[in-house]
Structure 1
């Protein structure tokens, strides 16, 4: 009898790539598989191959759910409801579906694409796992595939320049896998995440590396092309990579004619040829540099990733590794100390003539009191304060803050609203020294895995999308036009501080409570690290984003003075050279 005979595995994103390889391994080991994805044709092709791989004499089956995007609530609900109605029991859920997302500096990224990437990678994993509980019994296993370029562990950050929404989603996914092991214990469900590391795939070779190389070219301009022209050229040229010589020449010629805009077509053709060659050269260099961080310099094959996933589904191994994030990547990645505790002390800055803007998404009274403490710190040192309070902040907290400081209740989820009010603050009050965003605390929740989809999305908005929205619009405030011309960022100063969410307080804090908060901290840590790497290493800017996480693992009360000290450091000249960008100010570890 084969190892997984009479078992059923459901693999998301399984029409191609790693998902298809995992489905193949399950079939070869006797399991039946359910494959799903957005496109019907690849799934049908995969199903033919999978059926041909069923071992002789084994009664396995292959089932397709086409047109199912893991980010689509209705599609996922319908799929699992169908399985439940048919009394299908699924033994293994493999959360594999993903997209590369935007490959560009955060300052230039579409916020809609940012949210979409979070929706597929993080919300898709969350909701797929929650809905899967309808058809899983005790000893079921949820295996979540993450990436090595993210938050391997809470204190080990691996910034992935040009991939801020991807790293945010993946970091949160790792912590979500840990959380599910706590919350699903009573159901006998095991949850494990694995970071397979660099894998041979078309997505890396044809999408991620070339797009990253193209972004390097856009940031600085190329030959006589300004960044916007490079961007337009890249969209025409990147699809030509990997094509035969005649197709490439013809494609470059067409691109030059299309984008000439009065320029000499012959000269532009030469420039485009050089640009494409440069992009290919940089992409190969990025791939080569990554391989040099691996002992044998070999990326994994998709089959090897599939083999590791099936090993994690083994009953005994799964019991041992429940709740773990398995770093299977073999990559020796030199990690800077991006996470710190208290910030270095600096002389108290004089804020005279400067404005500090607070964007506030408070949850409870202590959040409002934190705003009060920090705003008073700014004012007593000569600065002026403007508070923009989220519409979702409870009315009594809105009134508490508004009664003490110049305030407006605004839709801080809306990027246009954020931009408008930042401009208003600068025009009416004065030059903006920094923006402080208060996420508020995580509301008291029994189990995240019992939340409705709407409640879950409220949390991802509160702790991921809204901080990103505020941060990006603040970058635009500091560098008007910088998204179109990244060269404008060079040497510009500015400060953005994200505060929260807090760790829970008290002597009887449970592992589940801490793990819930860590899901959202797990998004903000790699996001902060990645964006700062882009600002410092790519854009040569002195703008910095810090994230401050109040509270400690021992449940002690947060100290707001330490947050004020962190802001003092952030606006000092010293912060531009700091590799530490996330501070757990109340920790003594």
Structure 2
């Protein structure tokens, strides 16, 4: 498919995992893609297989308001428009409210929630002009709780409801806003989990499909939500979780 020819897509956290797979999906479908991340070498690794005029690499910390304003400006200046923003960059700090440090709490909120707000706000004028879209990468952890992940749950819960709010506020502006909510997905961040056979078995007992998922599985859904195939879809937080959320939580009989 070549659904994104002549379209411009900004992907944060594009150097690895879901962000990398998403950037590659849009590039393969003809988009010009702005690769945003903290580590230039990772971004260059993504870009190396594509024509130089199809990609723009920007090193930036998306929790920094000024940096985000700057990168959105650079993207629009380089390519003349922005059609889709994928807010993917994120981090995790484990702990309950009794054990989390203030520093870890603020880091998670700054990256996982503030970054989505900063980028969406900066991109909105361009998305209004192009009748574009935002796809946020939330999580099943933003639709229900986990043990020992209070900060991540709070931040992703914020992303989930911010998605709905932006969809309502900006639909009449022609801007669609949706989110994907992955569960356990094979990425560099989950290497320690995928190597634990007992843990994988526990997850597979909850999945309706065999898991964990792949970054490419999530990227495909992101591309769908950004495409004209989803032109009447907005405000959706779409689980990409192998059927985990189909369960009411009771154990297998």
* TM-score of the pair, normalised by structure 1: 0.40
Equivalence for 1:280: none
Per the TM alignment, residue 112 of structure 1 is displaced from its structure 2 partner at its CA by 1.2
Q: Is the 8 Å Cα contact of residues 19 and 89 (structure 2) preserved in structure 1? A: yes
**Alignment pair present for 1:291 and 2:204:** yes
Aligned in 2, Cα 1:81/1:4: closer, same or farther, shift over 3 Å? closer
Equivalence for 2:97: 106
Q: Is the 8 Å Cα contact of residues 150 and 159 (structure 1) preserved in structure 2? A: yes
Per the TM alignment, residue 105 of structure 1 is displaced from its structure 2 partner at its CA by 3.1
CA distance in 1, matches of 2:131, 2:69: 22
Residues 536-555 of structure 1: CA distance to partner in whole angstroms, max 9, x if unpaired? xxxxxxxxxxxxxxxxxxxx
Per the TM alignment, residue 86 of structure 1 is displaced from its structure 2 partner at its CA by 4.8
Equivalence for 1:43: 43
Q: Post-superposition, which runs of at least 4 consecutive aligned residues in structure 1 deviate over 6 A? A: none
Structure with greater Cα Rg = 1
* Secondary structure of 2:184 counterpart: coil
Equivalence for 1:173: 159
Equivalence for 1:61: 54
Pairing partner for 1:196 from 167, 179, 182: 182
Aligned in 2, Cα 1:42/1:86: closer, same or farther, shift over 3 Å? closer
Per the TM alignment, residue 307 of structure 1 is displaced from its structure 2 partner at its CA by 1.0
Q: Is the 8 Å Cα contact of residues 196 and 328 (structure 1) preserved in structure 2? A: yes
Q: Is the 8 Å Cα contact of residues 80 and 135 (structure 1) preserved in structure 2? A: no
* Secondary structure of 1:99 counterpart: coil
CA distance in 2, matches of 1:92, 1:80: 11
Residues 17-43 of structure 1: CA distance to partner in whole angstroms, max 9, x if unpaired? 110111111111111100011111111
Q: Structure 1: which 5+ residue stretches go unaligned?
A: 152-157, 211-241, 243-282, 337-589
CA distance in 2, matches of 1:284, 1:119: 33
CA distance in 2, matches of 1:172, 1:290: 25
CA distance in 2, matches of 1:83, 1:307: 23
* Secondary structure of 1:19 counterpart: helix
* TM-score of the pair, normalised by structure 2: 0.90
* Secondary structure of 1:98 counterpart: coil
Aligned residues: 247
Per the TM alignment, residue 159 of structure 1 is displaced from its structure 2 partner at its CA by 1.8
Show the 5 A alignment for 1:398-547.
none
Residues 62-107 of structure 1: CA distance to partner in whole angstroms, max 9, x if unpaired? 11001x111011111111223344562011100100012x212331
Structural RMSD (CA): 2.1
Show the 5 A alignment for 1:131-146.
131-136=122-127, 137-146=129-138
